[in-house]
Structure 1
Amino acid sequence: MTPKPTRRTIAALLLALPLAQPQAQEFTATTDPARAQVTLPEPARPELPSLILIGDSTVRNGRDDGQGKGAEGQWGWGNPITAYLDTTKINVVNRAVGGLSSRTYRTSGHWERTKPFIKRGDWVVMQFGHNDASPVNDNSRARGVLRGIGPEKEDITNLLTGQPETVLTYGAYLRGYIAEIRAAGATPVVCSPVIRKRWEADGIKVTRAGGNFAAWAAEVARQEKVAFIDLNEWGALRYEAWGKATVEKLFPADTPQETVHTNWLGAAVNAQLVIAGLIQNKVLPDSFYLQRFAPDGSDDRPVVDARKVKVEAPRDPKLPSLVMIGDSTVRSGGQNGAWGWGERIAAFFDTQRINIVNNAIGGRSSRTFFTEGRWAAVVEQLKAGDTLLIQFGHNDGARIGDPAGKNRGSVPGIGDETVEDTRPDGSKEQVHTFGWYLARYIDDARARGARVVVLSPIPHKDRWQAGQPRDFENYAAWAEQVAHAHGAQFIDLTMLVTDAYRGLSAAKVENFFADARTHTNDAGAVFNAARVVDGLQRLPGQPFGDLLAKR
């Protein structure tokens, strides 16, 4: 099947984290970016450590407001990256300036204006290269550097400024920043330039950075023993996995000829790569991320080896069964002190009259529970009179096309659109929407005579308090739509738990969790299991009324 990328499709390519709305910055410029009088942000809370960004327009574009076009304007990745970091613990200070090179960021005076904000314990991420291949000396911008990373120099009279200047190699400018950052007691990080939207003749491969700027950045980082984030190669691999039609959605629609500057969505994609690089290089403390991640850039929710978890069978085949499928929030098995609500729900039922069968497995999404063959084994056990509970969503937002996503992400929505993904063995998979997988489960189970109840995911620890947007809004809406369309029932478990949390103190809710924000401990699992039972009792006809334990 040919992939049909849509706006919904693209959303699956992003981490399931809320992106803050961009804030505009004051900007006054001359025709020469090196002389631009830019009002750049300063650390919001000087007492906190800072992540300071320097670079060109692919890091911070213009006024940092999308040219007044909103998400469809041009954006640098330095804006959306803030949404992935805990700004109560670290400042994110985007000091990049559009149009500049590793040379002119220094000669313009922007580096001298940035250095006072760098203090011991900070981190400075640099990304230059897109403008460094320009002419060394002209009366337009005079921003080019000498090729390579060596000691070569060229003395010029700058045609733009009329002043004498000694121009250095690309590598020499990077080493200069690294030395001064270290002298300030901060930690430097080098990025290669973000990938351009340029395709080879075959329309499949992406052209890597010309002039070897990516390779030179990598070599300087290696020589200087600093963290390196290969945005050029990582971005190219991502683009190749998604294909031309999907990648077009990452760039402004009104300028199809644009190959460098992304829209807001493309900037968020590049921001994810930077975050993945920071994680892999162990640059920042884990606690600075809004969600804990594993070293490969994925989140650290348990991904249980399916070969070690047998498919549960009903204890007494003659009895009706309550069968659960889902992820680690339904079944965690005590890993790192985490328990899912499905592991504590049996206490609410008369198990002499009904089987409780928990076939959820950690790390699964609506997609992987199906593609790994686990659903095929579960559905064979269903019979008339059984009830199937389905709860997915926590892992469905994983990044399609990114190895860190572990091939778990589903396409957002409930339609028929698909996106092609590459498995670790090189084979291709047509990934369906979240709603497509739910519909398959519902239809298969009902064909066996089972009742089906779809539940929205339990909320995160940091997404339940009054005044916050509700958690899993899209997944809940999609689950409800599919349930009603395919003859299933729906329980908004997200809000049942949220409302119950709101009746408690924050300290009490904190004590329900075994990790930073996702997995409950034993007490939390019991609490949430009670909410599931509440939801079941509210279903029309109260189908479980005589099967509940007497209390």
Structure 2
Amino acid sequence: MTYHLAGDSTVAPAKPEELPMTGWGSYIEPVVEAPVRNLAYGGATTASFLADGSWARLVDGVEPGDTVVIQFGHNDQKLPELAARAGYTANLRGMVDDVRGRGAVAVLCTSVERRWFEGDRVTPTHGDYPNAVRDVAHDLDVPLIDLTVFTTWLYEDLGAEASAALLSHFAPGEHPLWPDGLADDTHFREEGARRIAAYVGRSLRAIERRDGDGPARGSQLVS
């Protein structure tokens, strides 16, 4: 069984020249103990992933019994035509149908939250998009990994100062790409990507075990 990943930069494989900035998909394979095929890329929306052939390429490699993990939203929310209850969810529904047509399991993820603190609380930044994904998962009876909830909890549990170590915060001179430093509260560095991958991987293992006794569709997995 192979896991296939579709998503944006927060999922995408690490670029060697940008390490330690990386997506969580780079570190999931040791957790699930199965092959992982990561087609996520920076800037991707549900629409671009379909239009540029990435989705067709992903689906062509899916075999019966495989699992396809889908996480979009960060970039969709920037485009009016991909509104949460319009183009965005229509594309997600189509993706789920395609995966099921291959005899595989689709798993939906809400977006990882941005690390935007107001006091000791993280400010939600994705509007209705996480709820839209939750509703699609419920309506289509699809397993859901709620990364919006998980990452919000993770950042708040660590606190504003300590949680910065999970994201791409670099001091001046620390990284050649950002000689003046960087404070990026969206994209992970390796430490953060590994934490998210551990949670996603364990959630996928739980879904796989539940599916062995009967599908655990539409269930929300949070720690």
> Shorter chain as normaliser: what TM range?
0.7 to 0.9
Aligned counterpart, 2:123: 207
Structure with the higher strand share, 1 or 2: 2
User: How far off its partner does 1:126 sit?
Assistant: 0.2
Unaligned runs of 5+ in 1: 1-48, 137-143, 150-168, 287-296, 298-402, 405-551
Q: 2:110 aligns with which of 184, 192, 200?
A: 192
> Deviations 1:332-390 (Å, cap 9, x if unpaired)?
xxxxxxxxxxxxxxxxxxxxxxxxxxxxxxxxxxxxxxxxxxxxxxxxxxxxxxxxxxx
**Is 1:78 matched up with 2:25?**
yes
**1:66, 1:211 → 2: CA distance?**
33
**Is 1:248 matched up with 2:149?**
no
**2:125, 2:108 → 1: CA distance?**
15
Question: Number of residues paired by the alignment?
Answer: 205
User: How far off its partner does 1:284 sit?
Assistant: 5.3
Aligned counterpart, 2:140: 224
User: How far off its partner does 1:234 sit?
Assistant: 1.1
Given that residues 109 and 133 in structure 2 are in contact (C-alpha distance below 8 angstroms), is that contact kept between their aligned partners in structure 1?
yes
- Following TM superposition, the consecutive aligned residue runs of length 4 or more in structure 1 with deviations greater than 4 angstroms are none
Q: 1:58 aligns with which of 1, 7, 10?
A: 10
Aligned counterpart, 1:112: 56
Aligned counterpart, 1:9: none
Instruction: Percent identity, please.
Output: 30
1:39-58 maps to which residues of 2 (within 5 A)?
Answer: 49-58=1-10
> Deviations 1:293-350 (Å, cap 9, x if unpaired)?
xxxx9xxxxxxxxxxxxxxxxxxxxxxxxxxxxxxxxxxxxxxxxxxxxxxxxxxxxx
Tell me: CA distance 1:284–1:76, structure 2 relative to 1, closer, same or farther (3 Å): farther
Amino acid at match of 2:90: A
**Is 1:261 matched up with 2:179?**
no
Amino acid at match of 1:125: V
**2:16, 2:208 → 1: CA distance?**
29
User: How far off its partner does 1:113 sit?
Assistant: 1.6
User: How far off its partner does 1:272 sit?
Assistant: 1.9
**2:204, 2:155 → 1: CA distance?**
21
Amino acid at match of 1:133: Q
Tell me: CA distance 1:213–1:67, structure 2 relative to 1, closer, same or farther (3 Å): farther
User: How far off its partner does 1:277 sit?
Assistant: 2.4
User: Normalising by the residue count of structure 1, what TM-score does the alignment of the two structures yield?
Assistant: 0.35
**Bigger CA drift: 251-260 or 267-276?**
251-260
> Deviations 1:55-94 (Å, cap 9, x if unpaired)?
1110005xx23534x4xx31000011112122xxx31111
Tell me: CA distance 1:284–1:114, structure 2 relative to 1, closer, same or farther (3 Å): farther
**2:56, 2:78 → 1: CA distance?**
23
**Is 1:98 matched up with 2:38?**
no
> Deviations 1:401-434 (Å, cap 9, x if unpaired)?
xx96xxxxxxxxxxxxxxxxxxxxxxxxxxxxxx
Tell me: CA distance 1:233–1:66, structure 2 relative to 1, closer, same or farther (3 Å): farther
DSSP 3-state at the match of 2:185? coil
**1:259, 1:132 → 2: CA distance?**
18
**Higher gyration radius (CA):** 1
**1:224, 1:285 → 2: CA distance?**
17
